A = this chain, B = another copy of it.
């Protein structure tokens, strides 16, 4: 995948939005035209920046253009629990459109480029082009399906299976948006962060990744996840991509 432009324009952000929604929903010409009337603000954020914090009442929604964002809870004891990872095309805080207060935070795991859409503009879009609104709704529903898998992962799977499942999900999602090359995709998390995502301690994460590497299933190196044996990895994870609702018949 060629590198994105250093400074994506808002037009490119709109391209990405249309492309992403079209991946799972059918958009009429009118919908698309209405969407292109939005005025996103594009900007870059440093690695590890908090974009929104638990308790905020944002008036914008964010779309990832490149890089990786994540949502997380801050537990009373100060620990962090990551909830989800977000890559190009994702709208990680779209729920803020209707849930006034953020119940979690949003941060960058990477140097990332993001586009911000005003809530007021999105609401106007939804009114003007209802089926574009339905596409956004569907987007949040897929989000929910991913959350459900995370519950199952953290609740019922072994350490190795959790890590393996994370790898499967991340690679599948990256492939869906074309953000991969061959059997590799971006994966900028440290082992500590993986632990805070799947509910394991650092040493346990390390031993799990090490095992997967030894078994030639997958490995992380230099911010990249590389799949070595997709079938075996999937078996370790108990992975069934159904829940991603990616509609495997990926067009072109």
Which A residues form the contact surface with B (CB < 8 A)? Answer: 55, 71, 73, 75-77, 79, 81, 83, 95, 98-101, 103-104, 126-127, 130, 133-134, 137-138, 140-145, 147-152, 154-157, 197-199, 238, 240, 242-243, 245, 247
A24 → B minimal CB distance (Å): 9
A19 → B minimal CB distance (Å): 19
On chain B, the residues within 8 Å of A238 by CB distance are: 75-77
Which one of A137, A143, A197 has the highest number of Cβ atoms from chain B below 10 Å of its Cβ?
A: A137
On chain B, the residues within 8 Å of A197 by CB distance are: 155
A169 → B minimal CB distance (Å): 13
**Interface pairs (27), CB distance under 8 Å:** A73-B149, A73-B156, A75-B156, A81-B155, A83-B151, A83-B152, A95-B141, A95-B145, A98-B134, A98-B137, A99-B138, A99-B142, A99-B145, A101-B242, A101-B245, A103-B145, A103-B149, A103-B243, A103-B245, A104-B148, A137-B140, A144-B144, A147-B148, A147-B151, A151-B151, A154-B154, A156-B199
On chain B, the residues within 8 Å of A98 by CB distance are: 134, 137-138, 141
Query: Is A242's CB under 8 angstroms from B103's CB?
Result: yes
Q: Specify the chain B residue showing the minimal Cβ separation from A243.
A: B103
A125 → B minimal CB distance (Å): 12
On chain B, the residues within 8 Å of A143 by CB distance are: 144
On chain B, the residues within 8 Å of A148 by CB distance are: 71, 73, 83, 103-104, 147
Alpha-carbon gap, A96 to B45, bound state (A): 36
Interface of chain A, helix or strand or loop or mixed? Answer: helix
Query: Is A152's CB under 8 angstroms from B73's CB?
Result: yes
Alpha-carbon gap, A238 to B77, bound state (A): 9
Alpha-carbon gap, A122 to B35, bound state (A): 24
Q: Specify the chain B residue showing the minimal Cβ separation from A137.
A: B137
On chain B, the residues within 8 Å of A155 by CB distance are: 81, 150, 154, 197-199
Query: Is B156's CB under 8 angstroms from A81's CB?
Result: yes
A126 → B minimal CB distance (Å): 7
Which one of A133, A151, A197 has the highest number of Cβ atoms from chain B below 10 Å of its Cβ?
A: A151
Alpha-carbon gap, A76 to B98, bound state (A): 36
Q: Specify the chain B residue showing the minimal Cβ separation from A135.
A: B98
**Which residue of B76, B100, B144, B245 is within 8 Å of A147 (Cβ)?**
B144
